[in-house]
Structure formats: C-alpha cells, structure tokens
Chains A and B, each alone.
Chain A
C-alpha cells in the first residue's frame, strides 16, 4: 500500500507494507536521527511528533501516519541546538543514542506544559530511558533549558 505524509515539512509518497511501523519508514527515508531501542514502547528512543504530539514510532503503524505531519529530530534543529547544547555542557549527551528521543519528548513537553516543576518533568519523561547518565545530568540540562527559554 501507499501512504502520503510530510516529514519535517517535506512531502513523501511511499510504499509501505501493512506491518511497517513508522520508525521503519522514517529511517528508510533517511531520517536516521530517530533511533530504535526496544520495539516494545518502553525506552522512548524512537519518539517523533505526529501532528505535533509525541508518539513512539516503533509501535505506531506507518499506515496511521497517512496524510499526517511527522516531525523528527532533523526537523527541530533550532530547539535541539539549544537543548542539546545544554546537554552537552553537562556532558550528559554521552553515547547519544537516547538523545534524539529525549530531545523530541522534552520539546513536546515544553510545548504542552510550558514550564513544569521537577516532579512533572520526571513523570513526563519517565518513558525516556538512558543507561549512561543516571538521568541527573539530563535533568540539570532540561531545567536550564526551561530557564533560558522563559
């Protein structure tokens, strides 16, 4: 079957198989910033925005993205530069494999909630696993991001 979607504002018409998940399609189309971590919606690495809402693309059938607007890390470079830069200033970008998913969900959080408190941040981002940092450095960066963008 065929679907039509925009990815970061660019229109794509692409053939898919019914069992393809959105992650398969975005990665195949070259948006490899989106990472595959678990395939069971537990790690948050594959987070992208569909019509501005964060979803886990490993378990989101590609067909559902038909006629929708998908945003990946490649499409939020301005925000990623600020937030990612702050992660780097803390040394908490580390292996970087969870970074795109974390950036996407944090950007979605800010758009949705504005400037949440620590507990809300931890809760909102609980599904974004990281095995390198122990989360503390990421939290320092995210809090600074909310501060500097106020």
Chain B
C-alpha cells in the first residue's frame, strides 16, 4: 500500500511561503551590508554600432564604484541557454559588445553603492551610436541585406545537421520526413487542406523578475545565488564567459518566484559574476519589470503552414507541417524549440501514411526568444489542432469522432515518433471530457439570445517527459547517524512543488514519514548534478533518480541489518523505520542500526546513490474542451468553462498536479485571447509592463474542471509521466474551434482578439 504517493500533501516549503519568511534572491541580498548595486545601460536602437562611450562624467557621480563597457569584458562568446552540454544553441553573445542587436541590448554595466547613484551615473554616460538598418519581420529575415550577426558563432551542432547559416540570418533548420511520399498520399486523398497560422511572442511573466546576488567566498570563488531553473548550466556558462575554471563558480538556488521557462535562460548571472570578479565585492543585479518584459526572453513567434490530407470518412493520411520561427537577436533555445513544433504535434495521429516537418529559425533584431512552457509544441499544436478541427467542419464530422478515429493508442508505435507508446489513456480522456463539458448540449453552438452564443470546441495534445538520451539526474540519500534521512538532490523547484513530490517518492521507498527526511537542494557545491527544471523533467527524470537512490540505500540497510540480526537478507524488509524479518517477529530499528553503524572501525554513514536518464521521453496526453460565450455585436469572447482531462501516468500529488493544470490552462487562455508582445515600428517592445501586457486576471476566469485518467508508464517512477508543460497547449485550438463553430471560419493568428472574432463574424478575415 502506498502512503505518500498519490496523496495531496502540502508543499514542504509552505510554512515559509505563507508566513512571508521564504527568502528569494533579493531578500537574501538585503540581509547583507555593503552589497553593490548593479544596473545596466541598454540600447535604444534595434541595431547599432557603438562608436564611442564616454563614461568620464558618470564615473564622478558620488557612490559610483565602476562602470564597464565592451572594452572591459572577456572576448569569449557564450549562450545564455541553460541546456545540457554540448548546448544546441549558438555561442553568439558577449557580456558586452560594440554592436547592439535589439532595443534593450546591454551597453554598459554600472556599479554603485546605492541604486540611486547607479541610476544617476547611468544618465551621464554618453554613447555615440551608428544606427544600422534592422531586421524586424521574421518573414523577410532570410537573405535580408542586413545580417544580425556579422561573424561565425560557434555552434555545437554542425551546419550539416543544424543548418546554421548566419550569412542568411538562419540560426537553424530542420527537415524530417516519415513514411511514404507525401505527393502519393495527397493523390490518394479525398480532401486536402492548406492552412496558415501566425503565433505571437508571449511573455512568461513569472511574478519574480530575474535576479542574482553574487559574492566572493573564503576560497576566492564566485558564489551566485540566482533566481534560476538551471544552476549547473549557470556554473558552466558563467565560468566560460568569465574565462575562469569551472570550479571557481558555485551556484545556489533559493526560493524562486516562478519561471515558466524564462529562467532556463541565464540572464543576470553573467553581469553580476563579472562585477564580483572585477571588484571582489558582493553585488546584486535585480531586473525591474520593464527590463524583464523587454530585455530577457519570450516565447518564439512563429509562422506555420499545415497541409493535411484525409479520406472522406475522416482518416488523416498525410500531415506536412512547415514553420518559420522568430529567434530575435540571440540564439537561445532556437533549434530545440523548433524541433518540438513537429515532434509533439504530428505523433498524436496514428493513421498517417506520410508526415513531414520543414522549419527554419531566423535571427531578427528583436528581443531573443527562449524557453516558455510548451517549448514549440504549443505553437505546433495550435496549427495542427486548428487544422484538424477545420477538417471536421469540412467533413461535417464531429471533431470528437474525428479524433477517436485517428489518435494514437497505448501499445502502438507512431509514424512520427518511432518509439513504443507504453502508456496512453487519451481515448478515455476524450470520452470523459465530452461528458463533463455537456458536448451534446452545446455542439456546435447554442444561441442564448439575439446577441449571445455559447459554443464548444476541443483539441488534444501531447508533450514529453524529460529529454530522451540527454537528461540525467543523480540523487544521493544518506542515513544519518541518528536514523533519519538526508537527501541531496538538484531539482530546481520554481514553485511547482517538485521538492515536495520528490520527497513523497523518497518517503514511499524508504517506508518512512515525510518529516523523517531532510532535503538539501540545488547547490552546485553540495548536491549532485541535475540538468535543472525544464523539459517536463522533474517528476520523471529526477523522480527516477530519487527512487533508485532510495532503493540503493534500503539494500545497504538490509545488508547491515542481516549481519546485526543474524538473518538472511532475503527475509528482511523495511517498514515504519524498522527492519523486519518475514520468518519471525524480529525487528531492528533503523535508528539503532544507524547509531551502531556510525561508530567504530569499518563502519560508515550509509549512502544510497541513484541516477536516471531515459532512452525515451514518454508523452503525457490530454484533451481540452472550451465552452465559450461570444457577444455577436462586438466579438467579445469569454471562456465560461474549460474541461481538462489529463493522462500524466500516475498522479504523485493530486492537488499539486491539479494546480499545474489550472495554471497552464489559464496561461493558455491568455495566449489564445489577449497576451501579445507588441513592438513599435522601430523595434522597441511596447508591452514591457503589466499595464500594457495583458495577463489573465481573476475576473477573466470561468470554471475550470480538471480530472486525471491515470495510465501506468513502466519507465516512470511509480508509473508517472510529466505534467508541467502539456497543460498550456490545448486552449488556443479548442477556443478557435468553438469560434469557428459560430463564425464558420477559424482564426489564423494569435491572439484571437475580439476584433478578429468580430470580423470573422462579418465573414471577413483580418
């Protein structure tokens, strides 16, 4: 019987959070005296060459300690992308450079005793720019006369595979084909759709902005406390960028106020670590909201083309997906995000005979794109699912029936994902969702009065669980000298509850109580390597390591107990902090065992070690159903109810899993209806605060119904898969389908604003 897995246990950090005692990066920095303030002067131009920087007046500002420009920094290019080495993102960034490539790019580092001194000094820096033409549209980026990068950056993926060609503004290309020849399949099909879509840049908008607090330790090493998802990748890239040995950097993750992928890119740490290296002093760099909104990273905006071929009875035989992705000025997560556009949308359909994915990601003079929950899958999902819904319309077929005819099932191998699907309850998820949304009552729509219509739409989605063949996590668990457990691990809990569910798993394997486990977490000096919290890896990858480490320790405990108890180890098992014998009633308390085993020669602190990296990335599946209300006079659209039925394998903590779903659905609704990073004509982001950037608020949200239909993933810890990312994918296409039911035409660009819906109601497309 399971005691902890499957229980809705409150987060282990709850007490600190709800009392206001939880310490985030800036809270820690505030506890120390003489911490230098770091501010960054940023480019007002989308593309310019710095001709001259005069810092002489600025340096005389009282309280200023130092000002650094491109003359002062190492000439070593790096990537801010927090990815496993060798990073599949080009090394195309210097800490400071004589060329600026987007509005917001860093020009100078100002270091002062107080923030006000730094701000005053910043205003006195005189920069002469030679303003250059800029590339501001992803559709004209390839072969644009302006090159965003005028040199050959190092890229760990050779051009023959990754397709990088900076002379054409191409960061990378992907071309994949599955199955038969597409033209043959098209010729055999009754209906062919060609649909195009545009998706917008979306801001992650985690509540805590980016920030680093940095100091020099007693051994002259740089310690970075960072609001991050990737401590170990910071250590590697910062030591690279500063030109110092890897071991001279230590990274510690405190409480982090959200990330959603944004903090899988290393932003502030390079500057703060550079300042501490140069001055030898503690410093902090905490970005404000406008910098976070305009000078960090966002979701990739994309253009997507879908060609779909089907038979008249609704068998989807061919899917060709093309995409062009706007990387912005620096190549963080360029190529990998692109890959997921196809990888996580095409394998949902398993009657395919031909599938293909052709895509490019291009440099522009805009803020760099990076990681954001869904990571390309979200964009691919919107395009493919919207097209499948349009197919249902053209065929006069219920989209649920169309899905059930075509989707992947447990035990199958799919055309576009050449691995066996060992766990999948998607068909049952769809049946359940249909019931909970009252599909038959609202499909295709229900007129309430002359100006109000209710309608429903649905879609399906998949993601992955960790990165196959790449993510590897190691966990250590020690039996203390007093019989409790200390677990050393590096999940990077940014608020999801990863620390908690991993300790639930440990308590389950160790057959002990949660309070008997202490966790030391995410400190590159103390805890074993883990790539960090991204790619939906926490539960599956780190969880896999937790289970193995605890099993290893249990084995060691039993071996020691066998000697102590003079019983065969095959007859011993652990339950409730005791080793018990199945042959008689003999027990030995683990406390007693631990005390004995840490005194005397030949004795030792028992420590279990476990690692996990998977050859597969088992997809979680889900379906989303939207019930929307459209005002026919204005196009104003609200989501009245959203039903999400999820297969994430075994649910480790139902409450925490449910919150992941609810939060993801609401981010997806924001993406669908109003969130949008907007630029001025000159390339400056106009939506760099929460007044201009429209986030979903409490009053926007109708009812959200979440259920899980568990499957059992044999490769996952306790049968678990992932939950974190998939949950953002369905709202865009499900809402679009509901709009299409009313207007007769789908919307082809995100966000689907009231204005676009109004014009669709008038029979026109914007």
Contact = CB atoms under 8 A, between A and B. Distances in A.
Interface stretch (B137-145, B428-436, B462-470, B651-659): B651-659
A62 interface: no
Most-contacted residue by chain B among A38, A40, A91 (CB, 10 A): A91
B21 A33 contact: yes
B330 to A, nearest CB: 24
Sorting the interface of chain B by its residue count into under 10, 10 to 19, 20 to 34 or 35 or more gives 35 or more
A55 B205 CA distance: 22
Residues of B contacting A: mostly: loop
Interface in B371-428: none
A93 B19 contact: no
B207 A91 contact: no
A90 B22 CA distance: 18
Contacts of B658: 91, 137
B653 A91 contact: yes
Given A95-B258, A96-B257, A97-B207, A134 B18 contact: no
B20 A80 contact: yes
Contacts of A42: 689-691
Most-contacted residue by chain A among B8, B15, B31, B659 (CB, 10 A): B659
Contact of A133 (B18, B256, B494, B663): B663
A22 interface: no
Contacts of A98: 207, 257
B30 A93 contact: no
A130 B698 CA distance: 9
Interface string B8-27: 10110111111111111011
Interface residues of A, number: 57
A77 B20 CA distance: 9
Interface of B: 8, 10-11, 13-24, 26-27, 30-31, 116, 204-209, 255-258, 260, 288-290, 494-497, 653, 655-656, 658-659, 662-667, 689-691, 695-699, 701, 704
Contact of A96 (B22, B666, B699): B22
B495 A94 contact: yes
B393 to A, nearest CB: 29
Given A134-B665, A134-B666, A96 B13 contact: yes
B30 A27 contact: yes
Given A45-B207, A95-B494, 5 more contacts: A30-B31, A39-B289, A39-B290, A94-B496, A134-B704
A82 to B, nearest CB: 10
A94 B659 contact: yes
Nearest to A135: B698
A61 interface: no
Interface in A94-129: 94-100, 103, 122-123, 125-129
B20 A72 contact: yes
Nearest to B9: A91
A131 B691 contact: no
Nearest to B689: A40
Interface in A19-58: 19, 27-28, 30, 32-40, 42-43, 45
A122 to B, nearest CB: 5
Contacts of A129: 207, 690, 695, 697
B19 A95 contact: no
A74 B258 contact: no
Contact of B208 (A93, A97, A136): A97
Contacts of B260: 131
B26 A84 contact: no
Nearest to A73: B20
A52 to B, nearest CB: 18
A94 B19 contact: no
Given A85-B18, A91-B653, A134-B701, A40 B690 contact: yes
